Chains A and B, each alone.
Chain A
Amino acid sequence: MPRYAMVIDLQRCVGCGACSIACRNENNVQEGVYWSNKITETVGTFPNVRYHYIPTLCNHCGAAPCVRGCPTKAMHKLENGLTMHDPKKCIGCKYCEFNCPYGVIYFNWEKPHKFWRSEEAVIPGATSSPKELVEKVGAQGTPYVNTERTGTSATLRPKGIVEKCTFCDHRLARKQLPYCVEACPANARIFGDISDPKSEVSVLLGKFHPFRLREELGTDPHVFYIRGYNPARYRATKGGV
């Protein structure tokens, strides 16, 4: 059984957000919910200033607080390391969301894709209402809904439950990479089986000094970061007094 993990090479990352938009696309994630997200920081004072970007997603922790706290085991671990959510068992207590140190779990406060349920057209007769358009193209939820997003977080989520990144379990099942990995134009995301010493992720983790988010909490995250967003060089100096 593999143990899946992701390595994010910050030097390759260009901070474009394609991962996050592609994730919305692949997983039919509605507005306001970010399975794939980022932490940005502008460091320094003009003119010595840089902007940094750390892509984030569910860390699929080895010791996942969300799983430990879930009263019904709706949030659970798979043998391959994925932290999964079973919407059938979810009572909507939101404790996982409260418990997650990484802010990657979101709650469906209402029926998803509100935008697409509107029946208003901006120019009646000549433009469509969102609802009309969805129906016309024969879709559900959104016109571009990905009906291949099957399994636990199927096409459209009911209200009253939580959701989060699943490492694209539905794609893994088809031997495809998670879509954020596929969609990253910079090849900054490397996915694979960390239990296999020959996998690309294992090779990279041995080559660099990876870090993980909030490691001190002991949650054993399985998203690893290598290198730096801005590896700028400078002329050697000893500083001065």
Chain B
Amino acid sequence: MSGGKILYPVWLGVLGVALLAGAVAGIYIFVQGHVLFNANDVLIWTLPLAVYIFLALSSSGLTLLSALPLVFGVKKYEPLAKRLVFLAIATLCGGFVAIGLELGTVFNMIYIMLSPNLSSPIWWMGAIYSAELAVLIVKFWKMHTGDFHSGFSRFLGTASFVLALIAPLMIGSVFGLTESRATYFGPVMSIYCLLMAVLSGTALFLLYDMVGGRLSAGAAADAAGRSVQDDFTRILTYTAGIVAAFTVLKTLIESATTIPAFLVYHKFEHLFGAVGNFGTEVIFGLFLPFVLLVIPSVRASARGRMLAAALIFAGSLARHTEILLAGQSHPVGPKAEQFPQYVRYLPSGWELMVLVFALAVMLTLYTLGERYLKLTEAPKA
């Protein structure tokens, strides 16, 4: 396919520019400080942290999918295992880029090891994702060297699965354990994060499979491939349904409760606009793709799937951003004296560069891995 041959170097060029721009932006952020973000002492965490949450959760989702062949022994998916693990690694690396640029003094990270605080969900989150990255890399190395089934390799698979289950719970508890911010719904936030991990991870894999497949292998849409895509589409549909039900329930509770924090929360100005109590990103990033996926003809068509997966994928980032911002939109305590009642937000160029950089790192790793690491390799029967 000559189209692919031309597209590939262009694609590499785009990635190169994005990486370079991202790196320059990153250095600038560390020289000037986070004043470059449109964050402040009310809106403490903004887009870069949402990008981290989104990518970290997607990575967990991918790891959970990889457990189907690697832990639960679903043979049919074995050819996907290596790719899923690699994608999880690449996505998590993107996530780490985002959080690295979010931290004020990333060079003090050593104290995470030297001075760990076991009561801190952030510490656990960091520790688990670091462990997960390590486990995934070793697991990938094992698979790359042909070891799919040794005891150690199986242990690594199980370990990564367990870690990928806990990690989203930890991200959720970072918010859920904050007494003063009732609008994050306490422990429920952890369940939500786990669901979102599966949802965005599955969407990402489907997207990758469809786009990547077309870019590189061309007509790889053989029968087996189609069957796998059908299965994953089903997973996506179910998960989207559960998340949608969850979101409706959450929104209903938010609307009905009289807890003062929620009354303020209602006045949050949605970043992407809203229809009634539902944000645009919920309607177009969750409800719409769910409806599309429920329609058999759409679900059967490659374009339909791609559209739905793309909507869900982008919608997930948007929803993480919204949830993150909505919980911080009003100043706490005396900060209300200096800040407006509701703080508005639009990401700064520098924050968008963090998004670009994180995605570029992730996509570059995908691209190179796809090219050089034989990602479709499966264990020899």
**CB-contacts of A69-100 with B (<8 A):** 69-74, 88-95, 97-100
Complex: A219 Cα to B121 Cα, angstroms:
18
Choice from A33, A68, A88, A101 contacting B120 with Cβ under 8 Å: A68
Which of the segments B57-65, B66-74, B309-317, B334-342 contacts the partner chain? B334-342
Which residue on chain A has the smallest CB distance to residue B127? A71
Whether the Cβ atoms of A56 and B122 lie closer than 8 Å is no
Whether the Cβ atoms of B178 and A98 lie closer than 8 Å is yes
B109, CB-defined interface residue at 8 Å: yes
A50, CB-defined interface residue at 8 Å: no
Complex: A88 Cα to B40 Cα, angstroms:
22
A43, CB-defined interface residue at 8 Å: no
B2, CB-defined interface residue at 8 Å: no
Interface-central residue, B111, B177, B336, by most chain A CB under 10 Å: B111
Chain B 6-40 per-residue mask, 1 if CB under 8 angstroms from chain A, else 0: 00000000000000000000000000111101011
Whether the Cβ atoms of B123 and A103 lie closer than 8 Å is no
Whether the Cβ atoms of A39 and B333 lie closer than 8 Å is yes
Which residue on chain A has the smallest CB distance to residue B180? A101
* Inter-chain contacts of A128 with B (CB < 8 A): none
Which residue on chain A has the smallest CB distance to residue B41? A106
Whether the Cβ atoms of B120 and A219 lie closer than 8 Å is no
* Inter-chain contacts of B227 with A (CB < 8 A): none
Whether the Cβ atoms of B178 and A99 lie closer than 8 Å is yes
Whether the Cβ atoms of B41 and A97 lie closer than 8 Å is yes
B104, CB-defined interface residue at 8 Å: yes
A120, CB-defined interface residue at 8 Å: no
Whether the Cβ atoms of A107 and B120 lie closer than 8 Å is no
Min C-beta distance of B252 to chain A, whole Å: 25
Which residue on chain A has the smallest CB distance to residue B109? A91
Which residue on chain B has the smallest CB distance to residue A99? B178
Interface-central residue, A93, A158, A218, by most chain B CB under 10 Å: A93
Given A40-B337, A65-B179, A109-B35, also A101-B104 (CB < 8 A): no
Question: In terms of DSSP, what is the predominant structure of the interface of chain A?
Answer: loop
Min C-beta distance of B327 to chain A, whole Å: 9
Question: In terms of DSSP, what is the predominant structure of the interface of chain B?
Answer: loop
Which residue on chain A has the smallest CB distance to residue B181? A98
Complex: A65 Cα to B120 Cα, angstroms:
10
Complex: A32 Cα to B339 Cα, angstroms:
10
B105, CB-defined interface residue at 8 Å: yes
Which residue on chain B has the smallest CB distance to residue A33? B41
Complex: A37 Cα to B126 Cα, angstroms:
33
Min C-beta distance of A41 to chain B, whole Å: 10
Which residue on chain A has the smallest CB distance to residue B107? A91
B44, CB-defined interface residue at 8 Å: yes
Interface residues on chain A, size class: 35 or more
Whether the Cβ atoms of B333 and A56 lie closer than 8 Å is yes
Given A65-B180, A91-B106, A103-B334, also A109-B117 (CB < 8 A): no
* Inter-chain contacts of A68 with B (CB < 8 A): 117, 119-120, 177
B332, CB-defined interface residue at 8 Å: yes
Choice from A74, A107, A108, A217 contacting B180 with Cβ under 8 Å: A217
* Inter-chain contacts of B106 with A (CB < 8 A): 91-92
A38, CB-defined interface residue at 8 Å: yes
B257, CB-defined interface residue at 8 Å: no
Given A68-B120, A69-B120, A110-B35, also A37-B334 (CB < 8 A): yes
* Inter-chain contacts of A52 with B (CB < 8 A): none
Whether the Cβ atoms of A160 and B33 lie closer than 8 Å is yes
B258, CB-defined interface residue at 8 Å: no
A227, CB-defined interface residue at 8 Å: no
* Inter-chain contacts of B37 with A (CB < 8 A): 109
**CB-contacts of B74-117 with A (<8 A):** 102-106, 108-109, 111-112, 114-117
Whether the Cβ atoms of B104 and A90 lie closer than 8 Å is yes
Chain A 141-184 per-residue mask, 1 if CB under 8 angstroms from chain B, else 0: 00000000000000000111110000000000000000000000
Whether the Cβ atoms of A91 and B180 lie closer than 8 Å is no
Complex: A32 Cα to B337 Cα, angstroms:
11
Complex: A102 Cα to B333 Cα, angstroms:
5
List 6 tightest A-B contacts by C-beta distance, closest first. Answer: A92-B104, A160-B104, A101-B180, A103-B333, A110-B33, A103-B332
